[in-house]
A and B are shown apart, each in its own frame.
Chain A
Amino acid sequence: MINIDHVSKVYPNGSAGVRDISIHIEQGEFVFFVGSSGSGKSTLIKLLLKELDPTEGIITINNVVTNDLPREKIPYLRRSLGVVFQDFRLLPNKTVYENVAFAMQVIEAPSKQIRRNVPAVLSLVGLTKKSRNYPSQLSGGEQQRTALARAIVNNPPILICDEPTGNLDPGTAWDIMDLLEDINRRGTTIVMATHAKDIVDMMQKRVVTLRRGQVIRDIQKGGYGDEAEFN
C-alpha cells in the first residue's frame, strides 16, 4: 500500500528532515509515527502528501511511484489520501454540511451522490444535528469530526492524520480515536503522527518511532516506548 524505500529529505538550507528511512505499510494497517518535535514526523507526512519531494529514495503509494509524478497528476494521488490536520483547516464561511460536500464537489462527484454520501458520513461521525452550523459555532472536537468526515467522504484507501488530537482535551481526543479505529476496521489504512503517549499506549497498534530523522524503533503491537530513547 505505502512503501517508503531508503528515503532522505535534505532541505535547501542543508538541514536533514529525514535520513534513509524505510517503512512498509500494508493495506488495513493502523500505524503511529511517534517522536518529539523535530524528529521528522512532519517531514514524513509531507512527503507522503507530496507536499515535499524526497532528495533520495523512492515513495510508492498504491503501486504508484510518487517521486516523479507529474504536477497535473498530483490531485489524483491526493484523492486516494484523506488528510486530517491538528488545526482542522475547515472553511469558516461554509457550514458543516458544505465543508464536507466541498470535498466531493472538488473531485466533481455527481450532485446526487453528494446528497447521499454527505449525510451518511455526518451520521457516522455523529454530526447530523450540527450539519447547518458554521465551524465557529462548534467545539474543537466537533470541528475535528467535521474534518474527519471531509477526509473520508470520498472513501480514500488511506487516511493520513497529522496530530489530529493535538488541539483537543483528552475526552474529546478519545472520541476521535474511537472514530479512527472504526474507520480502520472498515478497511482504511491509517497513518497517524502524534506525540500523545497515552493514546499510543492504549491503542496497541504498530508504532514507528522517529528520532533525528531516522527510524529507531518499529514494533507491531506496542506502546510509545521509553521517553529517554528520544533524546
Chain B
Amino acid sequence: MKPSSIKYYFREGFSGLLKNRLMTVASMATVAACILIMSFSYCMVSNLQYMLSQLEDDIGIAAFMPSSATAEQVETVKAKIEAIEHVTDVEYVSPDAALEDLKQELDADDILAGLEGENNPLSNSFNISIDDINNQPPVLESLNAMKTAGELENIKDAHSETEVLVKVNTIITVLGVLVIAILVVISVVIIVNTIKISVFTRKTEINIMKYVGATDWFIRWPFIIEGVLIGLIGALIPMLIAWPAYAQSVNMIYEYFPIIQNMVTFRQSGEIFAILLPFSLVFGILLGVAGSVTSIRKHLKV
C-alpha cells in the first residue's frame, strides 16, 4: 500500500460521505438509533443488577451458640466459621449487644427491662457475611455440620429471599443479553441495506475500476473508511445524548424522590459509560465496516 494510495482512500472515503449525503445521514441515524436503544437497555440492566447486589449484601446468615457457651468456646467457634470458604466477615454479637438491638427495634424498653446481665435470655451469636449470594448453600452446609457437633444451637438464613433474588437476577441478565443481541442483529441488517444502496449507486464506478485493473482491496478501502466514519459518528451522537441524559435523570430521581436513596443507589454515570462508550465506538465501527464489506462483495465479482 503506497502513501499516495492511502491519501486517495481517505479522500475518496470522505468525499463518498459528502457525495451521498442522504445515505450517509440515513446510515448514521440507523447506527445512532440502535446504539441509543442499546445504551438505554444497558443502563436499565446494569442498574437493576446493581440494586440487586445491594439487596444481596444485606442478606447474611445468623448463627446462635448454646446459652451455656464460655468466652473461650465463642473464640474457637468464631475462628472456625471464619475458616469456612466464601465467608468474608464474621461479626460477633454479645447477648448484651443483642438485647440493645432488640430494644431499639421494638422500641419497648419497659417490656425488656430487667433482662440485663445475669438475666439476659439471649445467647452469643454471629452475623456472617459471604462473598456471593450463590455460595450460600455450601456455607450453610458447613454451619449445619457445626450445629450437629453441638457447637452451634441455631442457624437463621434468608433462604427463600435469596432464591428469589438469584432468580430475578438471572432473568434480568438473560433478558438484557437477549434484547441487546436482537438489537445488534437488527442494526446489522439495516446498516447492510443502507450501505448496499449507496454501493449500488456507485456500481458503475466499481465496474470501471475493475476494468482498469483495480485490486479488490483498492476498491474496498474507501468504502471501509466510509463505513468507519459512519459508525464512529453514528456511535458518538447517542453517547453525547445518553451520557448527560443519564446523569441528569439520576440526579432528578434523587432530587424528587429523596426516599429512594435510603433503599437503593444508582450507578454513577462515569461507571456506566466507562464501559458503554468504548463498547459503542468499537461496535459502531465494526458495524460500519461489516456493512460496507458485505455490501460491496457482490459487485467485486466482475
* Pairwise interchain contact B211-A78, C-beta atoms closer than 8 A: yes
CA distance A110 to B208 in the complex (A): 20
* Pairwise interchain contact B302-A89, C-beta atoms closer than 8 A: no
Q: Quick one: which of A72, A111, A150 contacts B212, CB cutoff 8 A?
A: A150
Segment of A26-34, A100-108, A219-227 in the binding face: A100-108
Most buried by A among B19, B212, B302: B212
**In the assembled complex, A15 has its CB within 8 A of some CB on chain B:** no
Chain A residues whose C-beta falls within 8 Å of the C-beta of B212 in the assembled complex: 78-79, 83, 102-103, 106-107, 150, 154
**In the assembled complex, B4 has its CB within 8 A of some CB on chain A:** yes
* Pairwise interchain contact A111-B302, C-beta atoms closer than 8 A: no
Nearest to A93 among chain B residues (CB) is B19
CA distance A150 to B212 in the complex (A): 9
Within 8 A of A (CB), among B1-51: 2, 4-5, 8, 19
CA distance A215 to B4 in the complex (A): 46
**In the assembled complex, B251 has its CB within 8 A of some CB on chain A:** no
* Pairwise interchain contact B2-A75, C-beta atoms closer than 8 A: no
**In the assembled complex, B54 has its CB within 8 A of some CB on chain A:** no
**In the assembled complex, B290 has its CB within 8 A of some CB on chain A:** no
Chain B residues whose C-beta falls within 8 Å of the C-beta of A79 in the assembled complex: 212-213
Chain B 196-226: CB-based contact to A (< 8 A → 1; otherwise 0) = 0000000011011111111110100000000
**In the assembled complex, A68 has its CB within 8 A of some CB on chain B:** no
Chain B residues whose C-beta falls within 8 Å of the C-beta of A105 in the assembled complex: 4-5, 8
* Pairwise interchain contact B213-A76, C-beta atoms closer than 8 A: yes
| Contacts known (A72-B216, A75-B213, A78-B210); A91 close to B205, Cβ less than 8 A | yes
Chain A 168-199: CB-based contact to B (< 8 A → 1; otherwise 0) = 00000000000000000000000000000000
Chain B residues whose C-beta falls within 8 Å of the C-beta of A229 in the assembled complex: none
Chain A residues whose C-beta falls within 8 Å of the C-beta of B210 in the assembled complex: 75, 78
Within 8 A of B (CB), among A141-176: 150, 154
* Pairwise interchain contact B211-A49, C-beta atoms closer than 8 A: yes
* Pairwise interchain contact A51-B302, C-beta atoms closer than 8 A: yes
- How many residues of chain B get a CB closer than 8 Å to chain A's CBs? 19
Chain A residues whose C-beta falls within 8 Å of the C-beta of B2 in the assembled complex: 108, 110
CA distance A103 to B209 in the complex (A): 8
Chain B residues whose C-beta falls within 8 Å of the C-beta of A75 in the assembled complex: 210, 213-216, 218
Chain A 69-104: CB-based contact to B (< 8 A → 1; otherwise 0) = 000100111110001000001110100000000110
Chain A residues whose C-beta falls within 8 Å of the C-beta of B4 in the assembled complex: 105, 108, 110-111
Chain A residues whose C-beta falls within 8 Å of the C-beta of B218 in the assembled complex: 75, 106, 108
Q: Smallest Cβ distance from A158 to chain B, in angstroms?
A: 12
Chain A residues whose C-beta falls within 8 Å of the C-beta of B302 in the assembled complex: 51
Chain B residues whose C-beta falls within 8 Å of the C-beta of A154 in the assembled complex: 212-213
* Pairwise interchain contact A89-B204, C-beta atoms closer than 8 A: yes
* Pairwise interchain contact B213-A89, C-beta atoms closer than 8 A: no
Q: Smallest Cβ distance from A38 to chain B, in angstroms?
A: 23
Chain A residues whose C-beta falls within 8 Å of the C-beta of B216 in the assembled complex: 72, 75
Q: Smallest Cβ distance from A225 to chain B, in angstroms?
A: 30
Q: Smallest Cβ distance from A191 to chain B, in angstroms?
A: 15
CA distance A83 to B211 in the complex (A): 7
| Contacts known (A108-B2, A108-B4, A111-B4); A89 close to B208, Cβ less than 8 A | yes
* Pairwise interchain contact A78-B204, C-beta atoms closer than 8 A: no
| Contacts known (A51-B302, A108-B4, A108-B5); A89 close to B207, Cβ less than 8 A | yes
Q: Smallest Cβ distance from A34 to chain B, in angstroms?
A: 23
27 interchain pairs (CB within 8 A)? A49-B211, A51-B302, A72-B216, A75-B214, A75-B218, A77-B213, A78-B211, A89-B204, A89-B207, A89-B208, A89-B211, A91-B205, A93-B19, A102-B208, A105-B4, A105-B5, A105-B8, A106-B212, A106-B213, A106-B214, A106-B218, A107-B213, A107-B214, A108-B2, A108-B5, A110-B2, A150-B212
- B residues with a Cβ closer than 8 A to A are 2, 4-5, 8, 19, 204-205, 207-216, 218, 302
- A residues with a Cβ closer than 8 A to B are 49, 51, 72, 75-79, 83, 89-91, 93, 102-103, 105-108, 110-111, 150, 154
The 6 lowest CB-CB distance pairs between A and B, nearest first, are A79-B213, A78-B213, A106-B214, A103-B212, A75-B213, A75-B215
Besides A102-B209, A107-B212, 7 other CB < 8 A contacts?
A78-B212, A79-B212, A83-B211, A89-B207, A93-B19, A102-B212, A110-B2
